[in-house]
Amino acid sequence: MKKSYTTLLLICLFAAFFSACSKNESSESAENDFNNKKNVELMISAAASLQDVLHKIASNYEKEHPNVKITYNFGGSGALQQQISNGAPVDLFFSAAEDKFGQLVEEGLIKKEQVTDLVGNELVLVVGKDSQHIKRFEDLIKVKKIAIGTPETVPAGKYATETLENLELLKEVEKKIIYAKDVRQVLTYVETGNVDAGIVYKTDAMISSKVKVAAAARKDTHAPIIYPVGIIKDTSHKKEAEQFYKYVQKEETIKTFEKFGFQRIEN
């Protein structure tokens, strides 16, 4: 009886020992997996008007995913679309216009099933903080210089041209227009007083203390301002790109967009 008890005790001790070893190995394995997790840099091309909110989103995302580094290439959506068409190494694309984005889908560079309309925006007329003479779009006939984005490559410039045309102002102010490479350059021209007024997105006007909104364009004067986002088909970081693509669509991320003045799109 005593011998059986001793044998049982030894079995229990050995079992406890191997269990502890197994747990320790599992813990070490998990720690090693975390430490050895491959560091990835995601290259994201995005419309210039998104830079402030996307920097905030990247900061939040990188805290949750320390192995991922987000690098942005900001510019006019048309210029970015051309870069991607010409083979620029990009993982995701945020556009300020559906037509520029759609060209990449048509070219097969972005899969239709990996595309979503993310947020919306408004178009506004901005002037210097101390300006008192411009209070509506019709007042642009009184000024000397107006800045808008180059319509062929900057969606905000295209929306601006549509608005001026629909308000029957384009022919009267066409010779006064100064074209900019992106919407942020338009904002800078107004801030520095190089032009009397500029047409930008509401979100751009919100970040500057040197300009004020003189008027907002009616929605029926231009095409809907929608920002689509999609994964580039040939991304070399498919898993990480898909994770970030899903992250920007989360409720908490959409709320971050709203804090920066963007509009939620109701599906």
Give the per-residue pLDDT at 208: 95
Alpha-carbon span 128 to 147, nearest angstrom? 12
Structural domain boundaries in the chain: 40-120+226-264, 123-221
- Predicted local distance difference test score (pLDDT) of residue 32: 39
pLDDT over 60 at 261, yes or no: yes
Alpha carbon of residue 77 to chain centroid:
11
| pLDDT at residue number 36 | 45
Predicted confidence (pLDDT) per residue in 173-221, tens digit: 999 999 999 999 999 999 999 999 999 999 999 999 999 999 999 999 9
Q: Write down how long the chain is.
A: 267
16-52 per-position pLDDT tens digit = 444 544 444 444 443 433 344 679 999 999 999 999 9
* pLDDT recorded at residue 38: 79
Phi, psi of 113 (to 5 degrees): -75, -5
According to CATH, the topology of domain 123-221 is D-Maltodextrin-Binding Protein; domain 2 (3.40.190)
- CATH 3.40.190.10 for the 40-120+226-264 domain, yes or no: yes
Tokens 């990835």 locate to 40
